[in-house]
Structure formats: C-alpha cells, structure tokens
Amino acid sequence: MSAVKNVIKDNYNMMLLKDYLREAIKDAGFSHAEISKTPTGTRVALHVTRPGIVIGRKGTGIRALTEKLATDFGLKNPQISVVEIEKPELVPGVMCNRMASHIERGTAFRRATMWTLKQMMEGGAMGVQITISGKLRGDRSAFEKHTAGILPRAGHHAEIIVDEDIAHVKTAMGLIGIRIRIAKKEKLIPEFEMKTDKQKEKSKPVKVEEIQIEDVKVEVIKIEGKEDDAKSESEVIELEAKKMEKIETLEEEEAKMK
C-alpha cells in the first residue's frame, strides 16, 4: 500500500510542478518538462520556445528556478536543461497556452479557435481537433469541437502520431477548458506513410551550448536558422491579436447575409 501511495504522491507533485512551470515561465512559451532521476540528482528538461527568458539576465532566472524546484517541490540537486522547440505550431501545450491567452484578453472564443486551427494546419499538422467547453455564451455549459485534416481517433496508430494537451481559462462567466489534439506527419508508421510525404524535410541543425553560471550549469539546445521577430510569448499574442481581427466568424457572415 505504501508503494501505491508513493506513486500517487509523485504524480500529484508532478502535476503541481507542471502547473507552476506553466505560470512561472509562461512568457517563455513553456510546453512540458521531462524529469528523470540520476545518481547525482534530478535532471529537468524544460521545453520552451524562448530559452533566453528562462535563463534570465546573468542567469538570475535559472538560479531562482533551481532553488524553487529544490525547496518547494523536493527535487534533489535539480540539473536544468533548456530545450528550444523547433515548431511551436505543432506542440499542443504551446498552442493551448496561446489560445488561452487570447480568450483571457477578451477575444471571442470562436475567433481564437479558428485562428489557432489555421496556424497549426499551416505549420504542417496532418490533422487537428480543438475542443472548447464551459460557459461559452450563457449560464448553461456547452462545448464545441472543431476539426481539420486527418486525425485518427482511436487505436495503436492514434496513440503514436497524436499528441494532446489541456489548458483552463478563468473568465467572468466561469472556467473554460481547452483541449487540443494534433496529428503529426513525422510520426507516421512506415506501413501507413502518406504518398505525399515520400520526400521528408531534412532536420534543421541543432546547436548544444553549455552555460556555466556560478555553481549552476545550464544546457541549452537551440535550433539553428530559426528566426522569430517576437522576443516573448506576450509579443506573439499581441501580433496575433492584430492579425486575428481580419478573420470573419460565422456570426459576422450571418449578419452580412441578413
């Protein structure tokens, strides 16, 4: 029974840790964390879109984060490595956070859904499904599903190529849940390989840097050749909000037809 309790406790701590990281390094485009225990300590790999924000000026951010993981979450000698995400549009965690930020800013949920769906399909996804639920329009709870492309729903094939994540948004009406499922072409099993994907794109070169900041060593994995004008996720949200105004929702199209 004690072993079961330890497993439940570890899973609960991991859930709290993920919720903390989602808020603490939200501006860095946090997706997920990979935690593994080693004889010398605990290795934590943070997958983000902008590693510089996590490290901070002269390593202040990474040092504070290391102390937080050791004291509040009980990780023994945490060794943090920062991994840059190559294609944020194909990562459910990043897109969930971006869509949640748009809804928090007051963007209509359907407009935010259509924009997010468009970004992921243009980013190279084979299929996408966005489910949004909660008090969307009135006192009664409701949910909507929006799907594009090819998305396996069940079976071994779906477990391999489909990634998903969930985010929650606090609004004046109540809590809204966002679930995004993405099917990636790169994970296709050879037997199910699509004819249009015979020539796969060459992977971009990866550059690994080790930064020594006093007593903390940080490993940064960057994707060479990646260009992005925005310096943080907040700037990305602001730029997308301006572009999103050009999208016409179903309600606006119906109003024009009347």
Extended beta strands in 92-227, E state: 125-134, 142-149, 162-170, 175-184, 206-213, 216-223
Average pLDDT over residues 117-129: 91
70 and 109 share one domain: no
pTM over 0.85: no
Q: Which domain holds residue 14?
A: 2-86+205-235
100 and 9 share one domain: no
Give the domain-ending residue among 198, 220, 249: 198
Q: Which residues pair with 37 in a beta bridge?
A: 42
Is 179 a domain residue? Answer: yes
Query: What are the backbone dihedrals phi and psi of residue 218, each rounded to the nearest 5 degrees, phi first?
Result: -115, 130
| Number of domains making up the chain | 2
137 and 64 share one domain: no
Distances from the Cα of 177 to the Cαs of 24, 143, 240, in angstroms?
20, 9, 21
Compare 203 and 258 and report the one with higher pLDDT. Answer: 258
What pLDDT is stored for residue 76 in this prediction?
85
What pLDDT is stored for residue 179 in this prediction?
95
Is 246 a domain residue? Answer: no
